[in-house]
C-alpha cells in the first residue's frame, strides 16, 4: 500500500493501521500531530538540514541573535561559523558567562557560541558586517488542512507512521503490536541519524562532539 499524499489520507491511513474505527478524525489527527512533534525532537536527517547567513549590524555582544524570531523554522543547531574565521566551538552557558564577564579580555576573534532562551551568543562578538552562518535542522511544519505534505511525509513516511501510532499507544491497553512499533521507530531514527553523523564526522573520533542544540 502506497503512503498517502494528503492530510486526510494520513488520518485514514493511521486509523487503518491502528485498526480502530472508534477514533474520530480529530483524535487520529492529534496522534499524527504528536508524532510529528516527536520526529522534530528525535530526527536529524539530510532533508531537514538548512543554512541561513546573518550579517552582524551591531558591535555589541549584548545583542545576540534571536533564533526563534530570526529563523522561523529553527529546530536544532548543527554548526555555527563566522565567515573568515571558520566554525565556532560550542560552550556551556557557564563557560560563556565566564568569558563574557572578563573585562580584561583582549581577544577579538570569534571563538565559541552558546544558546540560552532561544538566543545565540557568540564570544567574542563578531565585528560589524561579519557574516554568521547558522547551519540548523528545520522544525518541520505539521500537516493540516492547508499543508498536505512535509519533509516527514516525503522522506520519512515510515517513521511518521510509527511515531503517530506510538502516540496512540497509551490508549491501547496490552496491544502486542506496540513493542514492534517501538522497535521499528527506534531502529529507523537511529539509522537516519547515524548516517548523517557518519558522513559528517567520518570514522575518526572527535575530541569533543556535541549533538544538535535546540
Q: What is the pLDDT of residues 107-161, one digit of tens each?
A: 678 999 999 999 999 988 898 999 999 999 999 999 999 999 999 999 999 999 9
Is the pLDDT confidence value at 205 over 70? no
- Return the percentage of the chain with pLDDT > 90, whole number: 72
Coil vs helix vs strand at 198: helix
* Main-chain dihedrals φ then ψ at residue 11, nearest 5 degrees: -60, -45
Coil vs helix vs strand at 97: helix
Sign of the CA dihedral running 173, 175, 181, 186: positive
Task: Convert the pLDDT of each residue in 155-174 to its tens digit.
Answer: 999 999 999 999 999 988 77
pLDDT for 62: 64
Is the pLDDT confidence value at 186 over 80? yes
Query: Which residues neighbour 116 within 8 Å (Cβ) at sequence distance 6 or greater?
Result: 93, 96
86, HSE (Cβ side, Cα atoms, 13 Å) = 2
pLDDT for 172: 86
pLDDT for 208: 41
Name 121's bridge partners. 114
Amino acid at each position: 500500500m502506497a503512503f498517502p499524499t494528503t492530510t486526510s489520507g494520513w488520518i485514514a491511513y493511521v486509523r487503518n493501521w491502528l485498526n480502530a474505527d472508534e477514533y474520530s478524525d480529530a483524535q487520529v489527527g492529534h496522534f499524527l500531530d504528536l508524532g510529528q512533534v516527536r520526529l522534530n525532537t528525535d530526527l536529524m536527517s539530510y532533508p531537514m538540514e538548512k543554512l541561513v547567513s546573518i550579517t552582524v549590524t551591531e558591535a555589541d555582544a549584548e545583542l545576540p541573535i534571536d533564533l526563534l524570531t530570526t529563523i522561523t523554522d529553527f529546530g536544532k543547531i548543527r554548526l555555527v561559523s563566522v565567515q573568515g574565521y571558520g566554525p565556532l566551538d560550542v560552550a556551556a552557558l557557564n563557560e560563556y558567562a565566564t568569558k563574557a564577564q572578563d573585562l580584561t579580555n583582549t581577544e577579538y576573534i570569534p571563538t565559541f557560541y552558546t544558546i540560552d532562551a532561544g538566543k545565540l551568543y557568540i564570544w567574542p562578538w563578531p565585528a560589524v558586517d561579519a557574516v554568521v552562518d547558522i547551519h540548523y535542522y528545520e522544525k518541520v511544519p505539521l500537516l493540516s488542512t492547508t499543508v498536505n505534505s512535509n519533509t516527514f511525509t516525503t522522506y520519512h513516511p515510515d517513521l511518521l507512521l510509527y511515531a503517530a501510532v506510538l502516540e496512540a499507544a497509551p490508549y491501547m491497553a496490552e496491544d502486542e503490536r506496540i513493542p514492534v512499533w517501538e522497535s521499528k521507530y527506534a531502529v529507523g531514527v537511529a539509522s537516519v541519524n547515524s548516517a548523517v553523523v557518519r558522513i559528517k564526522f567520518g570514522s575518526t573520533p572527535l575530541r569533543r562532539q556535541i549533538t544538535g542544540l535546540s
